[in-house]
Structure 1
Amino acid sequence: METEGIKYTGSKRLIIPYILELIKTLNVKTVLDGFSGTTRVSQALKKSGYTVFSNDTSVWSKVFAECYLMNRKPPDYYLPIISHLNKLKGRHGWFSENYGGKPNGGSSVQGDGKKRIWQVHNTMKLDAIREEIDNIAKNEIEKSVLLTSLILAMDKIDSTLGHQVSYLREWAPRSYSTMKMEVPKLIIDDKDHKVFQKDIFELIKNIKVDLAYFDPPYGSSNEKMPPSRVRYASYYHIWKTICLNDKPNLVGASNRREDASDTISSSVFEDFRKTENGKYIVSEAIKKLIVNTSARYVILSYSNEGRSTYNEIIEMFDDLKLKYDVLEIDYKKNVMAGMVWTKEWLNGTAENNQRNIEYLFFISRDKAKKFIPIESIKKQKEFDFRAYVPA
């Protein structure tokens, strides 16, 4: 199953097969993707026939969701529009001034001492195309499709390690290419999908779905790492600016949006502090999320690199007397490591510190259904990971 998206810290591209495998044994029709990010999970759910409710506070995530979930027009409709945009003559505008750089014999450091994310021949195209999208888009959904295409094109020719907090000192080879928009891989159906851009705690008060999938942003588990290093709003600030085209005030070496600063844009799920009882604030937020979600089934995706620990989450579920199971996926091995039956924290050894483990916590409130989803995957021994990973 193919999905698409930008380079993204925390992308769930590799675990989509496991999520779909868990859900397919259940009587589920509606699914909430509560922290949709690049919308890869939402795309896969829609392709699998579910009615998807997608939510994220990021502007660019909402744009992606409108493109992949709400659009009803076929790809052929967009071909001449995107062809027109690709043919526009570039011009030196706001994006070129702040994010475009000259080749400089391979160095991205410009005359002001700052590195740039794109070479100027591409930001000139960005300047021209972004203005034209506002002129020709007939409605918000069409605009979202065109913006998604533009962001995907710019993502392919950037000079970064996958985020926009800092840029490479030497131009990445891909940055010399010329950006080219393509029609996104649109998914057309007649289901009543919905897209939200709300605080998750407000949304779950007023939404009814069969299953809720939560993949909250992770605060780092490294006590020495400042929390400012893991703010998702800072990681992808330029995508927000491309969507809004609002030419905001910029700060710092990477010309971040002023409203993407750590103190303004932080999420409770990225909080590094502890409560008076010694629990991480993020753990309390996860508890609040689970308690207030009315769905019959909940899947919580969480990494061993997150601020909240495996032990804390398991103890929380036990205290709430939840019926749950855990699937552990080892990214290093690219195979399913199996179910976790112990409460031993897995970061206790040097070997485990090198592992990138994703946990899928499956919670069931369905008293009538036998509890078997994870067991059904476990019987497959080693899940044929590479055969099912979406592109």
Structure 2
Amino acid sequence: MIKYIGSKRALIPWIVKTVSRIDQVTPLRRVVDLFSGSARVGHALKAQGFYVIANDHNAYAHVLAQALIGADARAYPRSKIQPVLERLAALKPKAGWFTQTYCVKARYFQPRNGARIEAIREAIEEYQADPTLRAILLTSLLLAADKVDSTTGVQMAYLKRWAPRAWNELQLAYPPLLPGPGEAHLSDALEAAGALEGDLFYLDPPYNSHSYLGNYHVWETLVRFDSPTTYGVAQKRSDVRERKSPFNSKKEARFALERLLARIKAPHLVLSFSDEGFFRPEEIEALLGGWGFVVRLCRTHRRYVGARIGIYNPQGVKVGRVSHTQNREFLFVASQKRAVASALAEEEPTAKLAPGR
């Protein structure tokens, strides 16, 4: 999976255990991952046998979900995909606008890798007739590019000196596809919330002012391949300034979450949040209270590497200081069934059970 701020990589066992425990009390068939991002959570839930419906409003996230959640590995086995990947990997490098923008003006990739990325990306358009295959190939390219980038995990900036991994050769590999069906949707969460149906909704909304589009604008451009106008040292897409989410605004986030919760029609909900977010745990519990019984679960988690090493200006000089290296991650489980909340509260020593309304 790609490096991702707010990634639930270390929390996956906890999240899967929580959803599986709900499933033991009351069987779940369809799980909706409304802010799918890197698709890591949806992929883990699909691996557990759940039918996963993933949604995100960014193009790169939609592509990842198409491959890692929507694609059936039985229909797209390694034997079918590997020859295509080998053909793409053998293409002659092509240093065009992508290489100029993201390897010369900015330094996200070594130019030799950037030229290979550009040639491969251009060739992938030949596979538009099969959207799932196209998504699998794009996912392979995203995963390969992520392994040779020169960042701390976000694309707000790049390292002054090349990261050791940036010197490695780009290598396409068969993505970790899973057998079985799934769905991937490209939609705003507020619109999708009322349209998608599931037995459980997993919510991992943006919880502060940092935009995922701004943090991963290079992936958005690599998927769209639209040669956008850019700005700043980081060469961000110009539409980063326009495509704003209310969840990234302290002023708008509460109303957005209220509207979201009001549109979801499901008996169970799991909401992931951090103590770095706009809301205090008690505020989230109050917002979820209308759902029924609410359980608050908590874990301590290391912050992403960029936050741990500090902030540097374009000249490579450290500015400011690291405020903290850990944060608390919460899972809020809201269920119409008291038995679900009670079962979780009994198993988690850190759990807090709030009564239903």
Category of TM-score, reference length = shorter chain: 0.7 to 0.9
Q: CA deviation at 1:92?
A: 1.4
- One of 224, 243, 252 as aligned partner of 1:244: 224
Query: Hey, what's the Cα distance between the residues in 1 that align with 2:324 and 2:47?
Result: 36
Give the equivalent residue in structure 2 for 1:213. Answer: 202
Query: Hey, what's the Cα distance between the residues in 2 that align with 1:176 and 1:87?
Result: 19
Give the equivalent residue in structure 2 for 1:322. Answer: 292
* 8 A contact 1:32–1:211 mirrored in 2: yes
Query: Hey, what's the Cα distance between the residues in 2 that align with 1:353 and 1:89?
Result: 46
SS, match of residue 100 in structure 1: helix
SS, match of residue 209 in structure 1: coil
Listed as ranges, the gaps of 5+ residues in structure 1 are 102-113, 220-226, 274-280, 334-351, 382-391
SS, match of residue 149 in structure 2: coil
Query: Hey, what's the Cα distance between the residues in 1 that align with 2:199 and 2:340?
Result: 16
The residue type equivalent to 2:68 in the other structure is Y
Give the equivalent residue in structure 2 for 1:270. Answer: 248
Q: CA deviation at 1:16?
A: 1.4
Q: CA deviation at 1:316?
A: 2.9
- One of 218, 229, 239 as aligned partner of 1:259: 239
SS, match of residue 162 in structure 1: coil
Pairing 1:125-204 to 2, within 5 Å after superposition: 125-136=116-127, 138-189=129-180, 191=181, 193-204=182-193
Listed as ranges, the gaps of 5+ residues in structure 2 are 304-322, 352-357
Q: CA deviation at 1:137?
A: 5.2
The residue type equivalent to 1:203 in the other structure is A
Closer, same or farther: CA 244–360 of 1 in aligned 2, 3 Å: same
Give the equivalent residue in structure 2 for 1:69. Answer: 69
Q: CA deviation at 1:204?
A: 2.0
**When you count helix as a share of all residues, which structure comes out higher?**
2
Give the equivalent residue in structure 2 for 1:52. Answer: 52
* 8 A contact 1:35–1:215 mirrored in 2: yes
- One of 104, 107, 114 as aligned partner of 1:116: 107
Closer, same or farther: CA 354–186 of 1 in aligned 2, 3 Å: closer
- One of 4, 7, 12 as aligned partner of 2:3: 7
Identity of aligned residues (%): 32
* 8 A contact 2:300–2:326 mirrored in 1: yes
Q: How big is each residue's C-alpha offset from its partner over 1:301-345, in whole Å with a ceiling of 9 and x where there is no partner?
A: 000001122232123334x37311110011159xxxxxxxxxxxx
Give the equivalent residue in structure 2 for 1:291. Answer: 262
- One of 15, 19, 27 as aligned partner of 2:15: 19
- One of 328, 331, 334 as aligned partner of 2:301: 331
Q: CA deviation at 1:285?
A: 2.0
Query: Hey, what's the Cα distance between the residues in 2 that align with 1:371 and 1:128?
Result: 52
The residue type equivalent to 2:292 in the other structure is L
Give the equivalent residue in structure 1 for 2:318. Answer: none
Query: Hey, what's the Cα distance between the residues in 1 that align with 2:169 and 2:325?
Result: 37
Give the equivalent residue in structure 2 for 1:35. Answer: 35
Query: Hey, what's the Cα distance between the residues in 1 that align with 2:340 and 2:205?
Result: 28
Query: Hey, what's the Cα distance between the residues in 2 that align with 1:152 and 1:80?
Result: 18
SS, match of residue 194 in structure 2: coil
Give the equivalent residue in structure 2 for 1:378. Answer: 348
Q: How big is each residue's C-alpha offset from its partner over 1:19-65, in whole Å with a ceiling of 9 and x where there is no partner?
A: 21112232111100000000001101111111111000010111011
Query: Hey, what's the Cα distance between the residues in 2 that align with 1:332 and 1:152?
Result: 23
* 8 A contact 2:285–2:332 mirrored in 1: no
Give the equivalent residue in structure 1 for 2:211. Answer: 231
The residue type equivalent to 1:40 in the other structure is R
Closer, same or farther: CA 131–304 of 1 in aligned 2, 3 Å: same
Note if 1:79 corresponds to 2:75: no
Q: CA deviation at 1:132?
A: 1.1
Closer, same or farther: CA 137–288 of 1 in aligned 2, 3 Å: closer
Query: Hey, what's the Cα distance between the residues in 2 that align with 1:136 and 1:283?
Result: 42
Closer, same or farther: CA 353–169 of 1 in aligned 2, 3 Å: closer
Query: Hey, what's the Cα distance between the residues in 2 that align with 1:290 and 1:131?
Result: 40
Taking structure 1 as the reference length, the TM-score comes to 0.79
Query: Hey, what's the Cα distance between the residues in 1 that align with 2:145 and 2:325?
Result: 32
SS, match of residue 341 in structure 2: coil
Closer, same or farther: CA 376–23 of 1 in aligned 2, 3 Å: farther
* 8 A contact 2:291–2:336 mirrored in 1: no
Note if 1:312 corresponds to 2:278: no
Query: Hey, what's the Cα distance between the residues in 1 that align with 2:350 and 2:214?
Result: 40
Closer, same or farther: CA 63–311 of 1 in aligned 2, 3 Å: same
Query: Hey, what's the Cα distance between the residues in 2 that align with 1:139 and 1:238?
Result: 24
Query: Hey, what's the Cα distance between the residues in 1 that align with 2:256 and 2:103?
Result: 40
Closer, same or farther: CA 354–173 of 1 in aligned 2, 3 Å: closer
What CA RMSD, in Å, does the superposition of the two structures yield over aligned residues?
Answer: 2.1
